[in-house]
Structure 1
Amino acid sequence: MQKIKYSANPLAQVFKRTCSLVGVGATLAVLSHSAFAACTYTIDNEWPDGFVAKITIKNDTGAPINGWNVNWQYSTNRLNGTWNANFSGSNPYSASNISWNGSIAVGQSVSFGFQGTKNGGAAERPAVNGAACGGTTTPVSSAPRSSAAPSSVPRSSVAPSSVPRSSSQPIVVSSRSSSSSGYNVPANNFAQNGGVENGLTNWSTTAGTVARSTQDRRSGSASALITGRTGSWNGLTFSTGSLVNGSQYDVAVWVKLAPGTPDSVVQLTAKRQEDSDTSTYNEYTQVATATASSTEWRLLQGYYTQSGSTAFQHFIIEATDATISYYADDFSIGGQAPASSSSSSQASSSAPAAKKFIGNITTSGAVRSDFNRYWNQITGENEGKWGSVEGTRDVYNWAPVDRIYAYARANNIPVKAHTFVWGAQSPSWINNLSATETAAEIEEWIRDYCARYPDTAMIDVVNEAVVGHQPAAYAQKAFGNNWIQRVFQLARQYCPNSILILNDYNNIRWQHNEFIALAKAQGNYIDAVGLQAHELKGLTAAQVKTAIDNIWNQVGKPIYISEYDIGDTNDQVQLQNFQAHFPVFWDHPHVKGITIWGYVNGRTWIEGSGLMSDNGTPRPAMTWLLNNYINK
């Protein structure tokens, strides 16, 4: 495999990444003529007469981008819905940044999306019409473009094969491959989301398309799947954050090829950040190789020592066959974690630097300016419920939800959608429809939400479906007794990368067994279960742990504490309950995150459950949280 970086001589031609699909161009408002950004046009979803797509602009330049514009044109396709950009034109189309996504730091990217109709044709990958990610007016094909600007180049199958290998190319330090090797994950493993349970946090690609897949996994509920590869260097990446110079790391990941794929060699590669030297090999170190199979999971495991002045970037899982698709799961890395563990799963510098999130909800329909001082996951309290969005049939009010996602994207925190199907706070008009009409409207609602917010991390797909709670009678009318499974199927179809949750209350305390029976009946349609945990006041730590253990043992799905609060105006009662319950949530290996249901006095659903005054003065329970968890 050739890994080539061209000379830094400004007169030398330099290959730059172009669109992974046939191109889209972006005019970068404040960059010089020699600066380029990488643009990709990706179709996220497709059905017989329509599609959802996105354009991603990645800043591969050496300077921040402040303002951008993208232009493209179709033959037959037309747009009928857009988000996260200012759009103009009716073919050709133009999109420019909005207030919160105009600035792109070096190495970072922004995406915007749209929904379209095919008009009898296929879903198109449009060619560039105008500027091509660099302020020129030369149309760009799918071949790499050149420029007089100095730059580095990714390993590329289009690079000249006659370029000699560097004498400094890395060697394999250690590797093993086995389907049952007896390998033990190091006790000091600090990989976050190596099991792909928290969406695609820390997972990405060098090229190709990554998805969170529940079709195959080594453990847990999902794995990472890469498809659409066109070169051997196209691979999955996993970010661990920075590594400590001089430290040796035990690195491992399990891989499996897509069904029907012949055995093929895969390898695990460590990559440092690009630097100014003229050899790409200096940035890449091969860690392990193995022959992967489509019939069993195989282990890639080896050792890597970080050294030199060039910072670490990420690990890459690659295959020598340029087009095969494959899964990866259970990534682990043991060794000395950096003093300030800063993997990409950390939501913001001010949010909890921990192994699982501590989230909260909007306050009276808005995101408070202090939100990310305390919380690193957000759920809309009411804004995303179907009745709030579509109170009038076929008339959507997305604005409040847009604001939540805009804030979350600006602060790099995950959003949980709440909720798709529930027997309360659904639009009143849904009850007047026939079963066929109701089924169509449910599908339309889920499809349109997922199309508008494809980066949704988690979804309360079905809420409070235990008998005697608030199951959605309209969904049962539409789909029959298997309505829960059908709703989850629709969510999987239209939000394939989201964690799909069955959410309910009283499942720790009173309707514990009823919830377990309901969750078990859904099998692999669900990814996780949500325990609202409103009802825990007065329960001991042992009681809470026993209940959570039993849910895990019976259901076998990751657990989210989804709506925790303690409603009591007595500060000490609230504090004592937090001190009893929260450590159980935090330390439980199968609890993946904790969402507290409100934090401002007088602005929460349950009286006395607020954690601070409107001016920010904390109650004792909040002070305890800050000292022991949030600020740790």
Structure 2
Amino acid sequence: MKGIKQQKWLGFGKSHIYTVKALVAFTAMTMPVMSIAADSSAVVPSGFDAYYASASYTAIANNGDVENGLSGWSSIGGNIYRTTQDSYSGMASVHIYNRNATWNGVTFKPAPLVNGKQYNVSVWVKLAPGVQSANIILTGKRTDDADTSTNNEYVRIASASANTYGWTELKGSYTQSGTPFQYFIIESDNSQVSYFVDAMKVEDIGGGSGDPGNNGKKFVGNITTSGQVRGDFSQYWDQITPENEGKWGSVERTRDVYNWSGIDAAYNYAKQHNMPFKQHTFVWGSQYPAWIDNLSPSEQAGEIEEWIRDFCNRYPDVAMIDVVNEATPGHAPAKYARSAFGNDWIIKSFQLAHKYCPNATLILNDYNVLSWNTDEFIRMARPAVQAGVVDAIGLQSHGLEDFSVSQLQEKLNKIAALGLPIYISEYDIARSNDQEQLNIMKQQFPLFYNSDAVAGITLWGYVVGKTWVDGSGLIYENGAQRPAMQWLMNYLGR
């Protein structure tokens, strides 16, 4: 469907230059080059909505100069490789060849962009020997919306005639609204031309009034209720996670027999309502299929890869994934993954997720990080973070009721020092007393919501009597809201 929609857009049948809202970005971590195919194409580093401002184009367009392998660069059709044959600046550029359609092009994934600011975007191109001149186009691409009859996800930023004897700059302004930003595309309406790309820059120039849908802020989402999406979900929340339906043991209880129905419902709901969907979870030492413990290490490795591959093939537009869950020693590290991949099992799991879900934000998720096990989590996480395979940190936030704002801020700062955006992934307030729950919500929630380090917040259940932790429900079955929910909805303007 992506290819079809893109081909239709490149037919130039109607204008696709839109005045839209704006962008905010957070600092992206460099990621290692991974081979998708023998042509040396690189995996696109992933990302999604984040409220993490940066005024530096070097932070927004990390590795735009192609000096650190192909991190951030990939392609839609054709083949790409990093070459030192020619460059606009520095030592290298990206070369795309074997294009056979107008929509084949080089893609660049910057740090995730959200509504609220405006950006200048620039990239330099040069034709490879062969065709003497051709029109090259710089396009901004958002994730596909639910309407397959339109192509509003594509916004042309600039175009110019490029040649073989010098570098040409494509430069324009980009702002955003609607579905989340996905990547920039450098393409051509000549389906046969091959070209070099270098010096990608994305510069924050301010401005923008924010998206009325979320006031330019980060998402505040929730989970399914008893395996179902309630009819009132989108009234309160703008991001969805399946509570149990996405866990491997729920999907593949019997080897090679999948039950996708629970994920399908939540994923399709997210698509229909233009909200990000997060998969929970790929590799975890709990709620996994028991049969994998009886396999040899090589079979275990094959089954883990098959599970990740088949999920990504079915849900290509997944926004975020808890790739590895609760890996801190003493929590619930996946012993079967260590058996399959050895001591680098966390890194390997993320590499597989990058390979098959290249456009998702890949999260290392764990509990007690904001309370008791901060240092232990950091020691566990650092090797994978330094390897460049983790896009974000997920902080389960159960059991924080007795922690002060200053204590939580101190812990949050420690995690933010890892250099990755943070998702508050499982927040709840387990207080049956309405006033106690309200007081804690009023103290803690603004800390997370207003922190530049936090990219988004997911609460873990909202219906009284149907949440993981007793006392954490926010509305009753009939829709009546507890005081904490009333305050939260007022705070968010919902």
Give the TM-score, by structure 2 length. 0.70
Aligned partner of 1:601 in structure 2 is 464
The CA deviation string for residues 244-292 of structure 1, in whole angstroms up to 9 with x for no partner, is: xxxxx9742364779x99xx9988799xxxxxxxxxxxx989699999x
Gaps of 5+ in 2: 30-40, 48-56, 63-70, 78-98, 141-154, 176-182
Aligned partner of 1:114 in structure 2 is none
Q: Secondary structure at the match of 2:59?
A: coil
Q: Quick one: structure 1 residues 477 and 447, their matched pair in 2 at CA, closer, same or farther if it must change by over 3 Å?
A: same
1:40-51 to structure 2, matched below 5 A, reads: 41=3
Q: Quick one: structure 1 residues 496 and 576, their matched pair in 2 at CA, closer, same or farther if it must change by over 3 Å?
A: same
The CA deviation string for residues 335-360 of structure 1, in whole angstroms up to 9 with x for no partner, is: 3x35x735xxxxxx5xx343211110
Q: Quick one: structure 1 residues 425 and 234, their matched pair in 2 at CA, closer, same or farther if it must change by over 3 Å?
A: closer
Aligned partner of 2:354 in structure 1 is 492
Aligned partner of 1:623 in structure 2 is 486
As a proportion of its length, which structure holds more helix?
A: 2
CA deviation after TM superposition for structure 1 residue 578, in Å: 1.4
Aligned partner of 2:230 in structure 1 is 368
Aligned partner of 1:334 in structure 2 is 206
CA deviation after TM superposition for structure 1 residue 465, in Å: 0.6
CA RMSD after TM alignment: 4.5
CA deviation after TM superposition for structure 1 residue 488, in Å: 1.1
Equivalent of residue 432 in structure 2, options 554, 569, 572: 569
The CA deviation string for residues 38-86 of structure 1, in whole angstroms up to 9 with x for no partner, is: x764xxxxxxxxxxxxxx45796xxxxxxxxxxxxxxxxxxxxxxxxxx
1:213 paired with 2:76, answer no
Q: Quick one: structure 1 residues 59 and 372, their matched pair in 2 at CA, closer, same or farther if it must change by over 3 Å?
A: farther
Larger Rg: 1
Aligned partner of 1:324 in structure 2 is 195
Aligned partner of 1:613 in structure 2 is 476
Output the CA distance in 2 between the equivalents of 1:528 and 1:558.
5
The one-letter code matched in structure 2 to 1:594 is I
Aligned partner of 2:279 in structure 1 is 417
CA deviation after TM superposition for structure 1 residue 513, in Å: 0.4
Aligned partner of 1:478 in structure 2 is 340
1:542 paired with 2:382, answer no
Gaps of 5+ in 1: 1-38, 42-55, 61-106, 108-142, 145-150, 156-188, 198-208, 244-248, 271-282, 292-297, 306-314, 343-348
Q: Quick one: structure 1 residues 284 and 581, their matched pair in 2 at CA, closer, same or farther if it must change by over 3 Å?
A: closer
Number of aligned residue pairs: 403
Output the CA distance in 1 between the equivalents of 2:411 and 2:24.
26
The one-letter code matched in structure 1 to 2:396 is Q
Q: Secondary structure at the match of 1:219?
A: helix
Q: Quick one: structure 1 residues 610 and 477, their matched pair in 2 at CA, closer, same or farther if it must change by over 3 Å?
A: same
Equivalent of residue 446 in structure 1, options 285, 295, 308: 308
The one-letter code matched in structure 1 to 2:45 is S
Equivalent of residue 253 in structure 1, options 117, 121, 124: 121
Aligned partner of 1:48 in structure 2 is none
CA deviation after TM superposition for structure 1 residue 224, in Å: 6.6
Please tell me whether the aligned partners of residues 253 and 332 of structure 1 are also in contact (alpha carbons under 8 angstroms).
Answer: no
Higher relative contact order (CA 8 A, sep 6+): 2
Please tell me whether the aligned partners of residues 305 and 352 of structure 2 are also in contact (alpha carbons under 8 angstroms).
Answer: yes
The one-letter code matched in structure 2 to 1:407 is Y
Equivalent of residue 408 in structure 1, options 270, 280, 285: 270
1:497-508 to structure 2, matched below 5 A, reads: 497-508=359-370
Please tell me whether the aligned partners of residues 195 and 331 of structure 1 are also in contact (alpha carbons under 8 angstroms).
Answer: no
Q: Secondary structure at the match of 2:280?
A: strand
CA deviation after TM superposition for structure 1 residue 575, in Å: 1.4
Q: Quick one: structure 1 residues 429 and 578, their matched pair in 2 at CA, closer, same or farther if it must change by over 3 Å?
A: same
The CA deviation string for residues 161-219 of structure 1, in whole angstroms up to 9 with x for no partner, is: xxxxxxxxxxxxxxxxxxxxxxxxxxxx941458789xxxxxxxxxxx9984369x943
Q: Quick one: structure 1 residues 324 and 607, their matched pair in 2 at CA, closer, same or farther if it must change by over 3 Å?
A: farther
The one-letter code matched in structure 2 to 1:496 is P
Please tell me whether the aligned partners of residues 267 and 290 of structure 1 are also in contact (alpha carbons under 8 angstroms).
Answer: no
Q: Quick one: structure 1 residues 241 and 549, their matched pair in 2 at CA, closer, same or farther if it must change by over 3 Å?
A: closer
Output the CA distance in 2 between the equivalents of 1:574 and 1:299.
55
Q: Quick one: structure 1 residues 626 and 494, their matched pair in 2 at CA, closer, same or farther if it must change by over 3 Å?
A: same
1:295-314 to structure 2, matched below 5 A, reads: none
Output the CA distance in 2 between the equivalents of 1:460 and 1:590.
18
Aligned partner of 1:429 in structure 2 is 291
